[in-house]
């Protein structure tokens, strides 16, 4: 059962663990990987990439993924207005934006002077885990009352390099998180541990 987890966003109806390699348009293009593809009840598509190493092309990668995901449902004879919004979420294990200490930055297309939004079909989120950890250690976050911080801190308990999950830390947070978010959080914990839901 999908759950909003009190985020105010649309309810998730489908999660696919894609792990597909998407080749570039040209011979010199890099291979790219999309980790999760999520659909909401409003028809929005959310592509989530978790990137552990800085390839120094993260913004271009995100734009590339977004464009492919946005155009994928377009069929011959279909009107452009029938395309649904695509939200790109990039969870990074490195610093991307030197000009801000915020761990979560969000981007849309706006008019330069009056700042009104051009469209709601494009949304980008960049989450820099190193900045999240700094905020957490400085007691600037309350993971018990901030759903995003709680999820991200749980994700941070997975050490892919050493194939280790810090179960002792997860178990301490699991009961509170599962109560707050229901089945979605339990599914996340199963995924983090490498099992199937």
CB atoms within 10 A of CB 188: 18
Query: Pick the residue with more confidence: 118 or 52?
Result: 118
* Residue 31 to residues 20, 21, 23, 104, 155, Cα–Cα distance (Å): 10, 6, 5, 26, 24
Reply yes or no on whether the pLDDT at 157 is more than 70: no
pLDDT in tens, 99-139: 999 999 999 999 999 999 999 999 999 999 889 888 888 88
Pairing of strands 86-92, 122-128: parallel
Give residue 54's pLDDT.
Answer: 77
H or E element that contains 61:
helix 58-71
Tell me what the mean pLDDT of segment 12-28 comes to.
60
Of 155, 108, 169, 158, give the one whose Cα is nearest residue 127. 155
21: its two tokens: 């390699």
DSSP state of 110: B
Query: Pick the residue with more confidence: 29 or 72?
Result: 72
Asked whether 73 and 83 are in contact (CB, 8 A), the reply is yes
CB atoms within 10 A of CB 58: 17
Domain residue spans of the chain: 12-141
Give residue 14's pLDDT.
Answer: 79
| 119 three-class SS | coil
Give residue 101's pLDDT.
Answer: 92
């Amino acid at each position: 059962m999908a759950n909003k987890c009190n985020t105010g966003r649309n309810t998730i109806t489908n999660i696919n663990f894609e792990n597909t390699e998407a080749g570039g348009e040209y011979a010199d293009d890099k291979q790219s990987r999309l980790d999760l593809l999520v659909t909401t009840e409003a028809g929005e598509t959310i592509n989530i990439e978790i990137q552990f190493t800085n390839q120094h092309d993260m913004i271009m990668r995100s734009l590339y993924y977004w464009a492919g995901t946005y155009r994928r449902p377009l069929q011959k004879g279909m009107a452009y207005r029938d395309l649904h919004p695509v939200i790109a979420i990039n969870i990074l294990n490195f610093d991307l934006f030197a000009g801000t200490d915020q761990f979560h930055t969000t981007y849309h297309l706006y008019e330069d002077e009056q700042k009104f939004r051009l469209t709601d079909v494009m949304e980008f989120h960049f989450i820099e885990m190193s900045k999240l950890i700094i905020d957490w250690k400085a007691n600037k976050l309350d993971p018990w009352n901030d759903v995003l911080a709680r999820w991200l801190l749980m994700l941070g308990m997975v050490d892919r390099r050493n194939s280790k999950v810090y179960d002792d830390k997860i178990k301490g947070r699991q009961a509170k998180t599962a109560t707050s978010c229901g089945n979605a959080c339990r599914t996340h914990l199963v995924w983090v541990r490498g099992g199937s839901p």
